[in-house]
């Protein structure tokens, strides 16, 4: 069935709420508005306001309430209007959500999903456009998912909701309107820690997240047509757990790697991926690993300036040629 990214998220949430009465949604404007991108629109009509709960503008408060509900046996899906707002609740997420199961010796279950969107594309400026995934990967106890297609959004979200551990489920605002095939199966799940080889190739590996997956595929097709260069594109899909085997096997085959993401290049997730490649596949490398990410400045409001800060498709094209010593 063809669905948009946003529709896939909404449908899986509804299906899981029908399947398990312990699943409920909470967040700012989730009841009538359905969130600013409509991912919960209409759910209150079916499930009522007890299970689709509007919250005050206090991320620390309702993330903490979600943790408490999870500790008591519920399965909350907490929506952050912007992933940037997780910074307001970082103490709850890092010091409470991530550590509670550990503190109780593994006896506590924390089936909590914290989902929200991030990224550029709408001119939302410095405090509403950040890509913060690397923050959550740093703290043990959190799983981190970053779907790039409607199918992956559906399969990974269902896995997240059914998981007994806290999951930070990071969407992208520019992907919500994208459409794709989604299995019509109420039990369709994608396991965490399993990357997807989106395009096979032999000359260079490109590891990309969110919107850069399709941009990498587009540039791979262009490189093949114009230069005869065969590029393999990998979407990790989850950063914690991270499927390093798929990445390493690809790099061992191609001998070259480019990592591209929208987050700032300095200390971004690309640095960790590059480190893993360097430590565990160094003898196979024919060139240094190249990292692409946003320049080290706040995200601008102006769309032209925004594009000047984050990597563009041509940057991927040029990076692959550089990895092949062709530029």
Supply the residues annotated as catalytic. 59, 128
Question: Distance between CA atoms of 99 and 186, rounded to whole angstroms?
Answer: 31
CB of 258 within 8 A of CB of 206?
yes
DSSP 144-186: EE---SHHHHHHHHHHHHH-SS-EEEEEEGGGTT-EEE----T
Task: Report CA-CA distances (Å) from 4 to 41, 83, 165, 193.
Answer: 14, 20, 27, 24
Question: Distance between CA atoms of 2 and 23, rounded to whole angstroms?
Answer: 25
From the number of C-beta atoms within 10 Å of its C-beta (0-12, 13-18, 19+), residue 57 rates as exposed
CB of 137 within 8 A of CB of 239?
yes
Q: Nearest Cα to 137, choosing from 322, 289, 263, 321?
A: 263
CB of 119 within 8 A of CB of 172?
yes
Task: Report CA-CA distances (Å) from 73 to 57, 63, 90.
Answer: 25, 16, 23
Q: Is the dihedral of CA 234, 242, 63, 24 positive or negative?
A: positive
* DSSP-derived pairing of the beta strands 113-118 and 167-172: parallel
């Amino acid at each position: 069935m063809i669905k948009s990214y946003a529709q896939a998220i909404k449908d899986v949430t509804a299906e899981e709420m029908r399947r398990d009465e312990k699943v409920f949604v909470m967040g700012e404007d989730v009841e009538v508005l359905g969130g600013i991108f409509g991912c919960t629109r209409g759910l209150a009509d079916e499930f009522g306001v007890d299970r689709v709960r509007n919250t005050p503008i206090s991320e620390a408060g309702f993330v903490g309430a979600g943790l408490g509900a999870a500790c008591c046996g519920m399965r909350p899906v907490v929506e952050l209007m912007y992933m940037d707002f997780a910074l307001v609740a970082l103490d709850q997420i890092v010091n409470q959500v991530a550590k509670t199961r550990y503190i109780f010796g593994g006896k506590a279950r924390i089936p909590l999903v914290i989902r929200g969107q991030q990224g550029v594309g709408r001119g939302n400026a410095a405090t509403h456009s950040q890509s913060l995934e690397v923050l959550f990967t740093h703290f043990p106890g959190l799983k981190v998912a970053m779907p790039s297609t409607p199918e992956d959004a559906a399969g990974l979200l269902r896995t997240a909701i059914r998981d007994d551990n806290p999951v930070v489920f990071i969407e992208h605002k520019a992907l919500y309107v994208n459409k794709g095939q989604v299995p019509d199966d109420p039990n369709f799940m994608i396991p965490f820690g399993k990357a997807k080889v989106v395009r096979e190739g032999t000359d260079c590996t490109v590891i990309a997240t969110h919107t850069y997956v399709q941009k990498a595929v587009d540039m791979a097709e262009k490189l093949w047509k114009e230069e005869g260069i065969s590029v393999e594109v990998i979407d990790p899909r989850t950063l914690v757990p991270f499927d390093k085997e798929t990445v390493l096997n690809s790099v061992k085959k191609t001998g070259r790697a480019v990592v591209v993401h929208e987050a700032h290049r300095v200390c971004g997730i690309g640095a960790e991926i590059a480190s893993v490649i360097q430590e565990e596949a160094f003898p196979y490398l024919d060139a240094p690993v190249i990292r692409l990410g946003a320049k080290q400045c706040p995200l601008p409001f102006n769309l032209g300036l925004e594009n000047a800060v984050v990597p563009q498709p041509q940057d991927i094209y040029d990076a692959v040629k550089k990895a092949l010593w062709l530029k």
